[in-house]
Every structure is written in C-alpha cells, then in structure tokens.
A and B are shown apart, each in its own frame.
Chain A
Amino acid sequence: MFYREAGQFKTSYAADMAVFPLRQDRIGLAAIIAVAYAVAFTGSDFLLQAVLIPFLIFALAAIGLNLLTGYAGLLSLGTGAFMGVGAYACYKLTTAFPGVNFVVWVLVSGLFSAGIGVFFGLPSLRIKGFYLAVATLAAQFFLQWCFNRVPWLYNYNVSGAIDAPLRTLFGVPIVGPTATSQTRYLVVLTLVILLTWVASNLVHGRIGRMWMAIRDMDIAAELMGIKLLQSKLLAFAVSSYYCGVAGAMMVFFWYGGAEYNVFDINQSFIVLFMIIIGGLGSLIGSFFGAALIFMLPIALGIILPAILDPFGLSIGSDTIEHLRFIILGALIIFFLIVEPHGLARLWQIGKQKLRVWPFPY
C-alpha cells in the first residue's frame, strides 16, 4: 500500500538506470543511515563495541568476498589471510610513519592486500571452482605462516602480537585503548558506507557486468571481447582490497591487537558462510549474512537466559554456548531450505509481495 511506485515517472535515462529507482527505497536508505549515525550517540558501549563495529567490519569483508565469489564466480578460501595482510600492512605503516593520518593508512593497507591477492589469483585463469579454492587455501596457510614466523612483520615484539598504538583524527583518539567506542564506530561506519557505495557503483557498471559475464560463462564472455586474465585479476585485486581494509579495521578498531591465529582458516570460512547465507552476488546479502552469522549468536546469548530465567531455569554459560551453535545451525539449514539463494533473495521476494499488498494478483 505504501510501498508502491505508482506516480513515479522516470523522465531521463539516468533516472531509469538508478540503483534505487523507487523513492521509498531512497527514503528508507537515508533513514537507515541516519539511524546508524544516531546509534553512535544513544547506543551503549557494549552495543557499539561488541556488536555493531564487528558487524560492520564483517559486512565489509563479506562484500569483499562477494565481489570475487558472488560476482566474478571465483571461489576463494583465503579471505582470512587477505584480511591479515591488510592488518599487518597497516601496523607496519602506522608504526613506521606515525605522523600520517591513520585513516589514510587503513585505506592504503588494502593496496598491499590487493597486490598479494593478485599474485595468488594468477592461477585463476587456468583453474576454476574447487581447484581454485585449493590454490587460495595455499595463500591462507602460507600467509598465516608468515604472520607467525616473520618477526619483522610484528616489529620483533616479544609477545608476537601486534597491537594498536594511539592514533588521533582531528585531535580525537580513534585508535588505541583511549579511543571511545563512539568515535571508533563513527569512523568504521563512515568507511563502510563509503566503500559500500564504491562497490555498488563498481558492480552496477561496466566492471561488474564484466565479472558477471565471466561468472555465467567465461568462454562466452571471452568471445564477447572480455579479457579474462585482466578481469579476473581485477576481481582478485578489488576483493582483496576490501578484505584487507576490513582486516585492518578489525585489528585497530575492534580488537585493539591481534595474534597471527586471528586470521586463520576459520575466519575465511566464517566470511564464506556469510555470503552463502546472505546471498551470492548481492551487496545487501553481505550485510544480511554478517548479521545472521555474527549478531545472532550474541543475541541468543542474551535472549536465552532472559527467556529461561523467569521459569526458574538457570543454565550455565557453556550450555548457552552449545545452544547457540545448535540454534544457529538449525537456522542456517532452515533458511537454505526455504530460500537456497540466500537471505537477499528472501528480501527481494518480500519486497515484491509488499508492492502488491494488500491486493495480490
């Protein structure tokens, strides 16, 4: 009833090709962004630091992997390692040049990740699917080994870990222990919005169409004049860039420090699950997936005791942990049965239904 495009006429080609052709969508998006910024001033520390910041960072990593796997059709299991490259690059840069604005280093560190990504993407021209996954798996193990065994990467710290030094933006600490979760959240939110906007323009433009053509049938794409090598390597570069930035943000805005095993194979799997559940080849799916995989367990950990306590059932923290796994696993299976194309597709169907509500035809 409210969600209907009747009366909205498109009078130019630009309006016809807009990413959000419906006025309601644009209003909704603006409202969401406004709310996201407002939360910074109303949310509690726990909400910002332990829920929203990691959610945004995982969403960004998921966008990165989605560009590669969802749009270009190249399966990668090296996401964790590429995130690590970003984190370690950012650490080296900011300790070597402490005077430079930290946000610049976060964005630059992605370039290092992109370079490494291109290198490990070289086999993608010759191998596909599972075989490529194994090649990227090699990247995962090799890079993780480097994070542990190359002491230069962590500045020869005795502990072998990297930690976030104090860095400021406009005189306000944004990184380091004295930075409030509010400022961290604002920086992360702004960067994620910016990078999502860039990604959205990429996938809706020529490059995105190139990737999708390769994903759907690479021989046909080649015959149409798309250069496979360049396009595939570009996909690896852009994807690794996003993962690298996400990794740098993860260490500096969320953890405040990290060991090499933060970037292990599990990290890669978690991000891969996010895009599979959220929806391959969909930006909004990356957000859905990150929300389901990351925020749901936290929510369950809070809700379950709240539900059970009034009945006099007090359950231990370990039981909650087991229940989290059980419920999350069941939900994943449920969603994949209901909609194999992920939450993004479910969202699309929901919107379609809403357009004709209350008089479906």
Chain B
Amino acid sequence: MSFMKLKLGAAAAVLIGASVLPAAAQDSIYVPLLTYRTGPFAGSGIPIADGMHDYLRMLNERDGGIGGVKIAIEECETGYDTKKGVECYESIKGKNPAVVNPYSTGITLQLIPKAAVDKIPMLSMAYGLSPSADGNIFPWIFNPPVTYWDGASVFIKHAAEKEGGLDKLKGKKIGLIHLDAPYGKEPIPLLEALAKDLGFELKLYPVTAQDMQNQGSLWLSIRRDRPDWLYLQGWGAMNPTAVKEAVKAGFPMNKMVGVWWAGGDDDARGGGAEAKGYKSLDFHAVGADFGVIKDIQKHVVDKGLSKFPKEKLGENLYNRGVYNSMLIAEAVRTAQQITGKKAVNGEDVRKGLEALNITEARLKELGMEGFAAPVKVSCEDHNGHHKVFVAEWDGTKWQKASDWIEPLKDKVRPLIEAGAKDYAEKNTGWPKRSESCAKQS
C-alpha cells in the first residue's frame, strides 16, 4: 500500500521520460546554458544569462551558427541552487551537449567527477575549483582565463605596486572579506602562502549566506583591526552591502579591491557617490563600444530577440556573459578545425578547448579588440593564468585603472598542481588521464 504512489509515480515518470527524449539533431550543435534568472542571486545572474544567450544567438543570426552549423541554445534554470543544477545536468546530458557551463562553484564541484564519465567537457570560466586548471588530472574541466588564485595574486601585486614594492608589504595587514562557502574560501590557501612569503598579516572576515546583507558586526572588527588593504570575494547581495558598509566605516575606497565577481555595476552603485574609487579585478572591458556588442545590438537586440534592456548593453556582467560565450564558440570552432567535423560533440569540443588559442588577430576579427586579452590553453594548463586588469568605479561606471597585470604564476602553479594531486588522492579511484593531447593542425 505504501508503495502505490511509487508505482503511479514511476509509471507517470516513464511516460514523461519517453515524451521528452531529445531530438538528437545532427545538424546543430547543442549548447545548454545553466543560468539563474530567479532566486536571491538573480540580480547577478540575469545579465550574465542574457550576455551568454545573446552572443550565441548573434552568431546564429549573423553567420548562421559556427562553421555553418546552427547552435541549438537551451537555458536551464538553476536558481543558483546545487540541487536544481544537478537536475539540469541530468536532463541535458543525454542530448549530446557540446560543453556545459554550470555557472556556480557549488554546481561545478558536483559535476567535476561526472564530466570524465559522461564525456562532456565543462567550462567554468574563472570560477569553480582552482586546482582543476591542471589538465593532467582534470582533462575534462577548463577554467580559463584565470583562477581565483591568480586573481588574489594580482590583487597582492596591485597592493604592492601602490605601496612601493613587494617587500613593502611586510608587516601590513590585508583583510579578506569572503562568502563563507566554497566559492568564498577559494583564495585563502594562496593568500596564506603569500602571507608567509611576503610577511604580511592575513585577516579573514567570513560572511555567511544568511548574513549577506547584515555585515554590521563584521565591519566593527574591520574598524578595530584597521587592515591596510581589503580584498572582497563576494557574490550577489553581499557585494553592494560590503561596499555600502565600507563607505559608512570610512574605509579608504581605493584600498578595497573586489574579485571580478564583485565588479557588477550594481555592486558599486550600492555605495552611492562615495563608492568612487572602489576597485575590482576584471579580464574583459566594459562598455558597448566594441564591434561585437554593436553586432549583438544590430542582429539580436534590435530584432527583439533579447530579453536584455537595450540601454544597459555593455554593463560589466553582460559583457562577461558575452566573453563566456565567445570562449564556447571559439572552442567549437577549434574543434571543427581539428576534427574536420561540422556538428561536433563533447569529445571534439574537449580537444577544441585544449587547443584553444585566441590571438590578438583573432580577437580583432571577432570585434573584440581591446575587449579582452589573448587566451591560450594547453593540455597541461587548462587555465592559462592570463593577465587581469584593475578597474575603478568613477561614481557612474567602471574605468580601466591599470595595465594588464600578469598573475604570480610561479607562486600559483605549484599550488595548483599540489591541490590537484591532493584532490585525486582523496578521491580513490580517480581515473588517470587517458585522453590524448590534441594539437591544432
């Protein structure tokens, strides 16, 4: 009796399952996008989702897809919730996806072990697990152009430059305000290692998810500790709150630097006029004065195919979505070149990602000159540890405030390899890399 519902449920589910079997069309490339337009993180999620969607849509409208093959774009709503993200993944994995973008560090961590088994490459662009940059241990995971550890090292470099050299950091206090979750804790190991090397003192200020908008007590301890620099690794509602609190506490805004995910226009806007000077790392430009954004406007937005408000085109997180989709498209294009196939599958795109080499010339062709730095990925290095710049909020919009800064790769890379080895050891039975290294012909 207790099991009657089980039967009904099972029968119903069988029917449902049968009716939604994917139309495995061979004449298109299926690119699922895991996005979140609902829930507490929707404010950050919507511009990214629109940016990713609009770029791919623009390729379909302007060029008829990639290499003449249309892209089948499908969004799956995760709400930034790991449970729903895994459900999304299960629902798309049978449809022969070219690449998966989880767009949440939590979901990425769940999917990392599955990628190799299901033969679906995963692109976690500048988020996810930093050690997954080691291609020898994580052949299916890619996180270009930079890891959180690179970001933190660039922040240290920037601080050192302003202080007058790396040796001047000795005895300084550097604070890390971070979301108390895997995402927020990511930069800690690197900052701890650097603190030991350079002799500065690291102070941690964790913010739990339920206290994102209630940081009063945290800022009391920041006032007491008087750190010289602050690094903000936050997401969603936590960022504008931190900026607002920093203004209230009278913290010098030009000494507070956010990771790229703390660089939304709305994050800085939260602090009002006094937030001027707040900085954030970035790996792509802001603004609509690029060929690619103009093309999106012409082919997608003006035709009413986008959900994004026209006047907000070129905002930071929207451009990040565009950048993410550019990586997808270029990986697919590279895969087509390597394999000679038109409709590429996940295994081909994995090769394409490993051979990814977006040069300055290619960026120009894409209408992205000055929009981003060149990106190169190799079989060993699935990240590239590319250059990052510091952007500064001028009160109304983000301005580029530094040159492209090279991360401290010699400090980051050994930690990445050690972290990856540690991960594989803790997961007994972690498969050895059997995928051959693909080179661009």
- In contact, A317 and B35 (Cβ under 8 angstroms): yes
Segment among A36-44, A107-115, A213-221, A334-342 that sits at the interface with chain B: A36-44
- Interface size counted on chain A using CB atoms at 8 A: 69
User: What B residues does A298 contact at CB under 8 A?
Assistant: 87
Segment among A4-12, A26-34, A81-89, A352-360 that sits at the interface with chain B: A26-34
B428 within 8 A of A: yes
Q: Find B117's partner among A52, A178, A283 (CB 8 Å cutoff).
A: A178
A176 within 8 A of B: yes
* Closest chain A residue to B89, Cβ basis: A50
- In contact, B110 and A256 (Cβ under 8 angstroms): yes
User: What A residues does B2 contact at CB under 8 A?
Assistant: 29, 196, 200, 283-284, 287
User: What A residues does B38 contact at CB under 8 A?
Assistant: 318, 321-322
- In contact, A166 and B428 (Cβ under 8 angstroms): yes
B350 within 8 A of A: no
- Interface size counted on chain B using CB atoms at 8 A: 60
- In contact, A317 and B77 (Cβ under 8 angstroms): yes
Majority DSSP secondary structure for residues of B touching A = helix
User: What B residues does A318 contact at CB under 8 A?
Assistant: 37-38, 75, 77
B441 within 8 A of A: no
* Chain A residues numbered 280-312 whose CB sits less than 8 Å from any CB in chain B: 283-284, 287-288, 291, 295, 298-299, 302-303, 306
Least CB distance from A71 to B in Å reads 14
Least CB distance from B207 to A in Å reads 12
A124 within 8 A of B: no
- In contact, A158 and B189 (Cβ under 8 angstroms): yes
A30 and B355 CA atoms in complex are apart in Å by: 56
> In the complex where A29-B3, A35-B7, A261-B181 touch, is A316 in contact with B37 (Cβ < 8 A)?
yes
* Chain B residues numbered 129-148 whose CB sits less than 8 Å from any CB in chain A: 129-131
Segment among B90-98, B239-247, B308-316, B325-333 that sits at the interface with chain A: B90-98
- In contact, A28 and B91 (Cβ under 8 angstroms): no
User: What A residues does B87 contact at CB under 8 A?
Assistant: 50, 298
- In contact, A288 and B77 (Cβ under 8 angstroms): no
> In the complex where A43-B14, A321-B38 touch, is A28 in contact with B9 (Cβ < 8 A)?
no
Least CB distance from B322 to A in Å reads 19
Inter-chain CB contacts under 8 Å: number: 175
- In contact, B5 and A288 (Cβ under 8 angstroms): yes
Segment among B15-23, B270-278, B365-373, B386-394 that sits at the interface with chain A: B15-23
User: What B residues does A176 contact at CB under 8 A?
Assistant: 113, 427, 429
User: What B residues does A29 contact at CB under 8 A?
Assistant: 1-4
A178 and B77 CA atoms in complex are apart in Å by: 26
B6 within 8 A of A: yes
User: What B residues does A259 contact at CB under 8 A?
Assistant: 82, 106, 109, 181-182
- In contact, A35 and B16 (Cβ under 8 angstroms): no
A318 and B75 CA atoms in complex are apart in Å by: 9
A83 and B75 CA atoms in complex are apart in Å by: 31
A255 within 8 A of B: yes
- In contact, B19 and A287 (Cβ under 8 angstroms): no
* Closest chain B residue to A180, Cβ basis: B117
A33 and B1 CA atoms in complex are apart in Å by: 10
Least CB distance from B185 to A in Å reads 6
* Closest chain B residue to A254, Cβ basis: B86
User: What B residues does A157 contact at CB under 8 A?
Assistant: 423, 426
Q: What 12 new A-B contacts, CB under 8 Å, besides A32-B3, A177-B116, A260-B181? A: A29-B4, A32-B6, A36-B6, A43-B17, A47-B13, A160-B182, A164-B113, A255-B110, A261-B181, A302-B16, A302-B19, A320-B77
Residues of A within 8 A of B (CB): 20, 25, 28-29, 31-33, 35-36, 39, 42-47, 49-52, 55-56, 59, 95, 98, 148, 155, 157-161, 163-166, 176-178, 193, 196, 200, 254-262, 283-284, 287-288, 291, 295, 298-299, 302-303, 306, 316-318, 320-322, 347
